[in-house]
Each structure stands twice: as C-alpha cells, then as structure tokens.
Structure 1
Amino acid sequence: MNSLLRRAGNLLLFAILATGLLGSAFLSGFAVAWGMHPAPSRTRSAAPAVTTPAAPPQDLQQAFGIFWEAWKLVQEEYYGEIPAPQTVVYGAVRGALQTLGDPYTSFIEPKIARILEEDASGQFEGIGALVRMNRDNKLEIVRVFEGSPAQKAGIRAGDLVIEVNGQSIVGYSIYEAVALIRGPADTSVTLTIERPGQREPLRVTVTRARITIPVVEARMLPENIAYIRLLDFSAQATRQLQEQLKGLLAQNPRGLILDLRDNPGGFLDQAIQVADLFLDEGVIAYERTKDGEERVFRSKSGDIGEKIPMVVLVNAGSASATEIVAGALQDRGRARLIGERTFGKGSVQLVHTLSDGSELRVTIARWFTPSNRAIHGEGLKPDIEVKAEPGAETGGVDPQLQRAVEVLLQGQ
C-alpha cells in the first residue's frame, strides 16, 4: 500500500498550468482527474433552503464525542491562533478519509474544485504550461504549450518557479501555487524563476490569455507512419482525437502509433469513446462494485480507426482511463503495447458536489479488462518492454517510439 500511495502521490502532482490541473493532473487527475462518474450536483442559490440532515448512528455519535472532548481542550488551552471552524471541519473530513487507506477517496475544497472543473472542460485562462512539484518541493515547468503566453515570455521546460508577484511559493501545495499563477485573460503575473545553468533567478512577466488545452498532438512520421499522442481524457478528448485521426488517415499511412505515455486518465465516457474508435463490436471493460454488481461497457462496429494496423505506447505514467483503453486494445488483439508497465489505477470514483462547492470523491468500483484482468495495483504489462531514455521528451533518442515504428514496418 505504501508503494501505491507514493506512486499515486507522484502522479497527482502533475498539473496543467494555464494554469490548470491535469489530471491533475487529479484531472486529469481531474481525474484530473481519472475515470470518474460525476454525481448530480446539489442545487445552490442565494438563499438555499434549510434542510436537516439525518441523525448519524448512535455508535458514531458516541465515538465523535471524543473528538469534541479533545477539541474543547484545544480551544481552552492552545497557545496560538485557533483556525476558523471551516478549516477545522475540512481537516476533520480529510483525517477521516485517511483512515480508509485509499488515496483516491478524497475531499477537495471549493477553490480547488473550481479549478479542476474548469480544467476538465478543456479551456481556462492562464499562462499555458504543464507543471509538477519536484522532489525539492519546487514548482517545475514540465512543458510549455506552443504559442502560449508562457512560451512568448521565454519560459522553458525545467524552469523552477519560486515566487509569484514577489511572494514565495516554496512550500506551497501545487494547488495553492496554481491558484496564484492563473487569472483572467489580459492580466499579468510576474514569476521569479530558477533556471538550470544560471546562477541568478530570473523575473519574467507573463500576460495571461484564454487557453485551450491541446489534448491531442498528431503528425506523420518520415516512414509514412501516423502518430497521435493523447495527453488526457478530458471533455474534448474524443472529438479532438477523431478530427486528427481523420486527417492522418486521409494520407494513407502504413500504420498508427497511439502514444498514451504519461496520460493520467480522465473521464470514463471519454475512455470508452476513444477505445470504440479503434474496436469493432465487443467488450471494452467491466466495472464491478463491492456488492458484485457488474456493468459492461461495449464498443460498436463502424468507426474510422478499426482497420489501420496500430501499436500503443505506455509507461508508468499511463493510468486509470488510459489503462482501460490500452487494456481493451491489448486483450482484444487490436494492438500491441510497447514501453513499460502502466501505473495500475483501476478504481472508479463517484464525484459528489457538496453544498459549499467542495467535492467528495468516493471509490465505488473497480475496472477489469475484457479478459477479466484486474487493473488496480497491477497495471498492464506491455507486449514489448522497452525502457525510456532520459531526455527523450526534449528531443533526445526515444527508443520506445523507434521500436513502435519497427513493429509497424516489420510486423515484429
């Protein structure tokens, strides 16, 4: 479990800094982030009706008596400032959820929930870069979007953001940092950056803009191989992928590489639709609850991507909804997986919007591939294992991509 928690924590640190969280990272890992079922939101108004919640069970009331006994002593004796009641409540909810031992059953405060909701829509306002927290707890620029305000201002992958408008963000959570950097279009933000190889920090002013997340990257490789990279399964994933796929297929490629590396997942409906683009009639995935109830997701025949020879690139950052797609293509014999074992996040979260705008995400089920393989905690083993080379994302040698081309050209 500790290993799973560490891996989950690392994956959740990815974010889109437009600034937005990919799947969040949660986004994505909207899940960020992450093969989620949205639950109906509670209606909110300027004057909400007052409702009386059902009384908790007697044994729970007695157990929580200890909490109030302890907190009363804190209020009476603590030498320092007592947090606001809302802060205490949020902390209590988080603490209770931690006892479940499930990193995916989580509580998200209203401000962060709004960020994740906007990111999942595929559009937001900010600077346009992919970020994460590195091991030194500094905000690292992982990728800068083409034509974004961040690129125009000279921000590069590898830059470390240490201040926002003169305020240090070292030690901040990724959400707190993102909330400071993003903002309305046509407003500016000044970032203090540590850049590898330079002794003194840089101060860069960026004018924010309306950003559309580039969910899909597509191009033709020299060997007449079509290449598509899908970055997440947010709301625009299927539409953008289908548009790019049509353009590539019109060029009569010899084969297709679907790159799902470092794709943290996203919405379940998008994963099912993407898988359906490449599969004829049959099972895509099974979803099973703790009570044994089963839901079967199926593909239908007649989509544009069902005939072209294809392979799929995966790695340890391929998670959740990504694993549904990769697992279906592998089990159905549609495509071989090339790269490294996937993350192994095969649980399903139901998203509840609470009365104050916060979110509660509850694990309600597990996913299984068409051949009934468990995804959760296991991941998918590639058909052809190829280790990544450092620097591949910044223009270096990419042995996984090279191997994919070889398989399509040579059939082995």
Structure 2
Amino acid sequence: MPRRSSRIPTFVAGALLVVVALALGIFLGGHADLLPRPIRSALVADDEAQMVQQAIDTIEDAYYRPIRRDDLVDSSIEGAVNSLDDQFSHYFDPSTYRRFQHATNPRFSGIGVTIRDGDRGLVVQQVIDDTPAAKAGLKVGDTIVAVGREVLAGHPSSYGISLIKGEPGTKVTITVERDGRRREETIERAEIVSPVVESRMVTTRTGRYGVVVFSSFTSDSSAQVRAAVDELLERGARGIVLDLRANGGGLLNEAVDTASIFIPDGTVVSTDGRARDRHVYTATGGAIRASVPVVVLVDRNTASSSEIVTGALQDRRRAKVVGTNTYGKGVFQEIRELPNGGALDITVGQYFLPSGRNIGGRGVREGDGIEPDVRARDDPQTPRDEALDVALRELATESR
C-alpha cells in the first residue's frame, strides 16, 4: 500500500509536466521571437526563415538608431508583396487593416464621394448631392492627394478610403488638387446613402428606351437592377441601356446575378487559381425576354465585376458593347488575416469569360480590357452625353 500511494503523485506530476511542456511548446511555436536567439535558431528549421530572422535580428541589434521590431516585420512583408509586381496585391499592417475594417463597416460613414485610383491619389468620380463633399465644393475630376498628413500617392485606394471614412460627426481634413492648385478642406463626416442604381426613360424619334445607371456591385444591388429593368419594360421601353461607366466592380455573386437578368442559362464566368479548383458560375434563371435589345455602355473605369457582366453579355451575343476599352482587371483577391493583426490582400486567381478569354494583365500589367463593338466617348465639355447618344442609336437599330 505505501508503494502504491507513493507512485500516484509521481505519475500525476509527470503527466502535468508533459501537459505544461506541450502547452509551452505550442505557445513558443507561435511566438518564436520570445525565445533566446540561439534556441530560436535551433528550433526554426527552415533555412530561409532563419536567414530572414537573422537579418531582422542584425538590424534590430546593430543599426545605428533604434528600430522597432514590428516595423521591420511590416516592412519585410510589404517588400515580399511588392516583389510580386502585382498592382492588386497589398499588405495591410495592423493599424491599416483596422482602418480598412472600419471603412467597410456600415456603422461608419464618409463625406459623399465615389472615387477611383489615380497617379497622385484618389480621383473623384461622383459627388453625391446634399452631402458634406457637395457642400464643401468638391467636383468630379478633383484629386484627393492627402488625408491629414498622409500622402496617398503610391497607396491602394482602400488605404485612402479607410482614412476618409469614420464615425458620423467626426471631422477629416483632405488636400484637394484641381487644375494644378491645391487646397485643404476640413469636412465633417456623415451617414451617406449612396444609390447604386438609377433609372430613367428616354424618348427619341424612334421610340422609348430605358437607361439603367449602375455604379457598384454591392450586396443586393442586382435586385435593384432587376427592379429598375422590370419597371422600365412595364412602362413600354423598347430596349435597355445598362450604363456601367465608372463602375469599379464589387461582389462576384452580384455580377453573376446581374448577368442572369439578361442571360437565361449557361456560363457567365469561371475562376481558376493555382491553389484552387476551377469553378464555373452559370446563369441563375429568370432572364427577361431575349427579344428585348440590350446595350452595355462602358469606359476605361469599367472594371472587375462590371467587366464580367459586360464580357458575358458580349460573348453570349446578348448585348452590344458601346464605349471605350474597359479597365482590364482579370484577377481577383482574397483577404488573409495574419497573426500580427495585419492582413494580406493578395491575388489568388483569374476570371475567364464564357469564350475562355481573360481580359486582364494577370495582375502584373495593365490589361487590354474588353473591346467595344462600337466606339464612343463622352465629351465632358459639352452638355450632351455623346456616348449615351451612340448607345441609344444602337438600341434603335437593334429594335427594328
């Protein structure tokens, strides 16, 4: 009996030591930087990882002025992403990623503009009526070159947007460039209701036609397009112009659903990537009558999901495309969160239209985009919309 009683505590103690060692090993496996350098190097078997670790250690220890280790890690990750030479792949450090998450949170707000990337910052594409931006005098074509002290040149648009957006009632200072002159504006943020679909009936000598202006593929936006198209057809529209100019894209499923308004069945788009299987997205059914002529109106800022819809309708011979070459973004990205609180926004695959073509530059260069069937361009110096006039003439020809 004495022997048995003395063995139990020994066994329990040994088991506890194993559990503690296991837990410690798991923790240190994910926090190798907490270990003494010799032990850390011995445990990290990968030669490349050890080399990067040693380089960071050397800079941290020997550089002539103090450097935060977190900054070195951020810079090394950013450098790795930059080496991809992919304009659509980015690294968000922890603070930038938090701003990005806030920017996509519906509880946050902005100043009332839609934008696109520019060489010097964010180019204003639309100023929404009765918003802080409109009251501050911002105009289409203005470039937001800085937010506070942060210069936007060289950063993705998501970075600038994350700085501009914030809680309603808070203020943001932006630097705006127009005609070579710069000025600062301090604007109070507000909740913005940005319509993504606008429609109207246009009467010409040949009949009445519906125009649906679609600005962004957000959640449930395809349902808004469908409602607008149905209403115009009920009111007697002989054809539909789907205006995707300056539509930078958005959700893939909304692109498929939008194309399905006009295509009854079959392939809309397929995706493929090195680490993922090829997937074919098909029309979801319930399309409008095939006898209704459709024209898609595009420009150089028609990108991503907008190009999926445009290319699908063109490849399936369901619509004529009028305008200029589109942007040429034939790749898509995913957000992958990192243990340091940051995230990678990296290209993981390519889009392929029903014909099998990819209209992008594989991420590393500017793509050719979609070639329009009929070329047309609006002259912003005139009150008329010359490109829309061409689209309406094409509709008239198709509806005879």
| Same-fold status (TM-score > 0.5) | yes
Match of 1:382 among 372, 377, 389: 372
Q: CA separation in 1, counterparts of 2:268 and 2:170? A: 45
Aligned residue in 1 for 2:134: 151
Q: Are 1:122 and 1:213, in contact at CA under 8 Å, matched by a contact in 2?
A: no
Pairwise CA distance, 1:376 = 2.9
The 1-side partners of 2:193 and 2:339 are apart by: 29
Query: Comparing both chains, which one has the higher relative contact order based on Cα–Cα distances under 8 Å and sequence gaps of 6 or more?
Result: 1
Identity of aligned residues (%): 31
Displacement of 1:157: 2.9
2:396 alignment partner in structure 1 = 409
Change (3 A) 1:305 1:175: same
3-state DSSP of counterpart to 1:225? strand
Question: How far does residue 407 in structure 1 lie from its aligned partner after superposition?
Answer: 0.4
- Unmatched 5+ stretches in structure 1: 1-48
| Residue of structure 1 equivalent to 2:278 | 294
Helix, strand or coil: the match of 2:355?
Answer: coil
Q: Secondary structure at the match of 1:329?
A: helix
User: Matched residue of 2:191: which SS?
Assistant: strand
Whole-angstrom distance in 2 between the partners of 1:104 and 1:76: 34
Partner of 2:197: 216
Whole-angstrom CA distance in 1 between matches of 2:310 and 2:131: 31
Read off the aligned partner of 2:372 and give its amino acid letter: P
CA RMSD of aligned residues (A): 3.5
Change (3 A) 1:160 1:366: closer
Amino acid at match of 1:391: P
- 3-state SS of paired residue (2:213): strand
d(CA) in 2 for partners of 1:203, 1:349: 34
CA displacement at 1:231 relative to structure 2 = 1.6
Distance 1:272 1:51, change over 3 A: farther
Which residue in 2 is equivalent to 1:323? 307
Cα distance 1:97–1:171, how it changes in 2: closer, same or farther (>3 A)? Answer: closer
- Can you list the C-alpha shifts for 1:311-339, whole angstroms capped at 9, x where unaligned? 10122222222221111111111101111
TM-superposition CA deviations, 1:360-400 (whole Å, max 9, x none): 234333221112222332432221223x24426xx644332
Structure 2 gap ranges (5+):
1-25, 33-40, 362-367
For the residue of structure 2 that corresponds to 1:273, the secondary structure is: helix
* Aligned equivalent of 2:47: 62
Equivalent in the alignment of 1:10: none
Q: Does 1:257 align with 2:241?
A: yes
Rg comparison, structure with higher value: 2
Change (3 A) 1:282 1:115: farther
Counterpart check, 1:352 vs 2:341: no
- Quote the Cα distance in structure 2 between the aligned partners of 1:349 and 1:68: 28
8 Å contact kept, 1:120–1:235: no
Residue aligned with 1:126, SS:
coil
Asked if 2 retains the 8 angstrom alpha-carbon contact of 1:285 and 1:324, the reply is: yes
Q: Say whether 1:400 aligns with 2:387.
A: yes
* Partner-residue secondary structure (3-state), 2:75: helix
Counterpart in the other structure of 1:225:
209
Q: Distance in 2 between matches of 1:356 and 1:75?
A: 18
The answer to whether structure 1 residue 391 and structure 2 residue 380 are counterparts is yes
- Residue 125 in structure 1 maps to residue 112 in structure 2: no
Conservation of the 8 A alpha-carbon contact between 1:278 and 1:307: no
Local SS of the residue matching 1:279: coil
Number of aligned residues: 354
Partner of 1:75 in structure 2? 60
Rate the CA distance shift 1:141–1:93 in 2: closer, same or farther, 3 A: same
Superposed CA offset, 1:197-232 (max 9, x none): 9x8x66655332111332223222233221112222
**1:51-85 Cα distance to aligned partner (Å, 9 max, x none):** 945999x9982123333333333234434441x33
Identify, as 1 or 2, the structure richer in helix: 2
> Structure 1 residue aligned with 2:230, among 225, 246, 256?
246
- Is 1:184 the counterpart of 2:167 in the alignment? yes
Distance in 2 (alpha carbons) for counterparts of 1:133 and 1:319: 12
